């Protein structure tokens, strides 16, 4: 079978890596891919991002399954386009992807289906938004309605920050259309976790739990990023919390979408806030796998990833089982200097040949040019390792990091600290 993976990050490298392990798969194309997928002879990078050209490519190459990494092509309707051309693709339709591409759509959906989430209101008019903030007080959370490359959420600890965020989005239009509407939301406190499932519209297959590290610096300090490290499983998601998430969030979401006439197919990612009292609330939905959560999750997956996604894309997920490595997998992201504000690019990356068992270096912002591996993005690599304990996975990941060098590399030294405190 021939598979096409769309995207260029660490998540897509991990997906291509896992898909290529299936004995049913003989070619894996990655569009556009990165330096890591270029260097691996098992994959072939395709320099395309336009969804129409990708569909033409899939027809020409007779691709059996297309899998999408990031949200942007989903929000542009790549699934609808491929299906209209009778191409097999795994992911949500443009309408279903609104769970991620419109915060207002997602909040309205959660309210209608009684899915626990923070109290909110949506605004287009700056004066009304400012007045609401004054009434509610700080801390308070301001979210651009649309996709804003992970920068659309401001957790405002003061009223000034909240008012500034409104001016930034509604007055100065700094996110364009994506910020023409804002959701203002109650500030929730607790511990976050990532909960992902696969769905074919009817059957739900939960993936292993995980936890991300959104802040740039150790001890969860510094600005928000796309994610600086992750591990799986997340001990905070106890059996009791797991059942609660399935009952209060996942089932009502999948059934709610089906009842609304928008059946959900693809990966559904619920960003959770777990409060001290053990309540679970939905912070957000994503309609894709998380990055960097995918890297440790797929490192633990023992089942055939291709078969799971192929069966799901053809509506036969009910005949699929999933098996996980019991060990912990932990990924540490190496980012370039200046990330997230202004990442410095084009630094040469040196990776020693030394192989450390049960570890893998997934590439993200890398490119192979003039016979050199160079940095080409903010998050450069995700070094991922398996261990019998969180501590062991952590030690191995940090040992592997020592085999990588590039100027200005920055990474957190405490990935996994919550799981270690939980043990």
Residue 248 touches which member of ligand GLY, ligand AMP, none, C-beta under 5-8 Å by kind = none
**Spatial strand order in the sheet of 191-200:** 204-206, 191-200, 265-274, 280-286
Give the interface segment with ligand AMP, choosing from 1-9, 185-193, 256-264, 375-383 (CB under 6 A).
185-193
Q: Would you say 287 or 361 has its CB closer to ligand AMP?
A: 287
| Terminal C-alpha separation, the chain | 42
Distance CA 253, CA 245 (A): 11
Q: Would you say 234 or 373 has its CB closer to ligand AMP?
A: 234
Residue 398 touches which member of ligand AMP, ligand GLY, none, C-beta under 5-8 Å by kind = none
Phi, psi dihedral angles at 306 (to 5 degrees): -60, -50
Kindly state the smallest distance separating residue 291's Cβ from ligand GLY, in Å.
5
Kindly state the smallest distance separating residue 395's Cβ from ligand GLY, in Å.
23
Draw the binding track, 229-248, toward ligand AMP (x: CB under 6 A; -: no contact).
Answer: --------------------
* DSSP H or E stretch at residue 373: strand 372-375
Distance CA 213, CA 130 (A): 31
Q: Contact with ligand AMP (CB under 6 A): which of 68, 141, 373, 385?
A: 141
Q: Contact with ligand AMP (CB under 6 A): which of 70, 92, 179, 271?
A: 271
Question: Which DSSP symbol is given to 57?
Answer: H
Asked if 14 and 86 touch (Cβ cutoff 8 Å), the reply is no
Q: How far is CA 351 from CA 26, 165, 383, 400, 408, in A?
A: 28, 41, 11, 10, 15
Q: Should residue 399 be labelled a site residue for ligand AMP when binding is judged by CB under 6 A?
A: no
Distance CA 234, CA 170 (A): 37
Q: Should residue 31 be labelled a site residue for ligand AMP when binding is judged by CB under 6 A?
A: no
Distance CA 132, CA 183 (A): 11
Q: Contact with ligand AMP (CB under 6 A): which of 57, 105, 132, 187?
A: 187
Distance CA 164, CA 82 (A): 41
**Which two structure tokens, joined as six digits, stand for 234?**
């997340």
Q: Would you say 227 or 365 has its CB closer to ligand GLY?
A: 227
Interface with ligand GLY (CB under 6 A): 212, 226-227, 286, 290-291, 293
Partners of 324 in the beta sheet? Answer: 301
Q: Contact with ligand AMP (CB under 6 A): which of 71, 104, 145, 192?
A: 192
**Looking only at residues 151 through 180 of this chain, which bind ligand AMP when binding is defined by CB under 6 A?**
153, 155
Asked if 278 and 165 touch (Cβ cutoff 8 Å), the reply is no
Q: Is 296 exposed, middle or buried, given 0-12, 13-18 or 19+ CB atoms closer than 10 A?
A: buried
Draw the binding track, 200-229, toward ligand AMP (x: CB under 6 A; -: no contact).
Answer: --------------x---------------
Residue 286 touches which member of ligand GLY, ligand AMP, none, C-beta under 5-8 Å by kind = ligand GLY
Cβ-proximal residue to ligand AMP, closest one: 284
Q: Should residue 283 be labelled a site residue for ligand AMP when binding is judged by CB under 6 A?
A: yes
Residue 227 touches which member of ligand GLY, ligand AMP, none, C-beta under 5-8 Å by kind = ligand GLY
Asked if 30 and 57 touch (Cβ cutoff 8 Å), the reply is no
Q: Would you say 144 or 373 has its CB closer to ligand AMP?
A: 144
Helices (DSSP H) in 228-289: which residue ranges?
239-245, 251-259
Please report, as ranges, the residues that interact with ligand AMP according to CB under 6 A. Answer: 118, 141, 143, 153, 155, 185-188, 192, 214, 271, 283-284
């Amino acid at each position: 079978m021939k598979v096409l993976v769309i995207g260029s990050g660490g998540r897509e490298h991990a997906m291509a890596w896992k898909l290529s392990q299936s004995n049913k798969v003989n070619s894996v194309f990655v569009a556009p891919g990165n330096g890591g997928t270029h260097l691996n002879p098992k994959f072939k990078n395709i320099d395309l991002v336009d969804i129409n050209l990708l569909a033409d490519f899939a027809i020409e190459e007779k691709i059996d399954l297309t899998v999408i990494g990031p949200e942007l092509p989903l929000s542009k309707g790549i699934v609808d386009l491929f299906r209209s051309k009778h191409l097999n693709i795994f992911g949500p339709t443009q309408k279903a992807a609104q769970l991620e591409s419109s915060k207002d759509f997602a909040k309205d959906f959660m309210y209608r289906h009684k899915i626990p989430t923070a109290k909110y209101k949506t605004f287009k008019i700056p004066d009304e938004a400012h007045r609401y903030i004054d009434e509610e007080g700080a801390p308070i959370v301001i979210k651009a309605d649309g996709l804003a490359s992970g920068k659309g959420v401001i957790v405002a600890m003061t009223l000034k920050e909240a008012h500034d965020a409104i001016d930034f989005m509604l007055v100065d239009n700094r996110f364009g259309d994506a910020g023409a509407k804002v959701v203002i939301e109650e500030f929730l406190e607790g511990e976050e976790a990532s909960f992902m499932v696969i769905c074919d519209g009817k059957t739900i297959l939960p993936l292993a739990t995980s936890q991300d590290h959104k802040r740039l610096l150790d001890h969860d300090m510094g600005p928000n990023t796309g994610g600086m490290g992750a591990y799986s499983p997340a001990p905070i998601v106890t059996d009791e919390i797991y059942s609660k998430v399935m009952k209060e969030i996942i089932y009502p979401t999948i059934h709610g979408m089906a009842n609304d006439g928008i059946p959900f197919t693809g990966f559904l990612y619920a960003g959770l806030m777990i409060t001290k009292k053990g309540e679970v609330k939905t912070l957000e939905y994503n309609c894709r796998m998380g990055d960097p959560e995918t890297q440790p999750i797929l490192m633990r997956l023992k089942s055939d990833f291709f078969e799971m996604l192929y069966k799901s894309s053809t509506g036969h997920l009910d005949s699929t089982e999933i098996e996980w490595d019991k060990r912990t997998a932990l990924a540490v992201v190496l980012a370039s200097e200046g990330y997230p504000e202004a990442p410095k690019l084009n630094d040469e990356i040196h990776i020693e040949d030394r192989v450390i068992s049960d570890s893998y270096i997934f590439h993200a912002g890398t490119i192979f040019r003039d016979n050199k591996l160079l940095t080409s993005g903010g998050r450069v690599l995700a070094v991922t390792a398996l261990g019998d304990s969180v501590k062991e996975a952590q030690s191995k990941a940090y040992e592997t990091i020592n085999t990588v060098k590039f100027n200005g590399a920055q990474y957190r030294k405490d990935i996994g600290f919550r799981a270690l405190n939980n043990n």
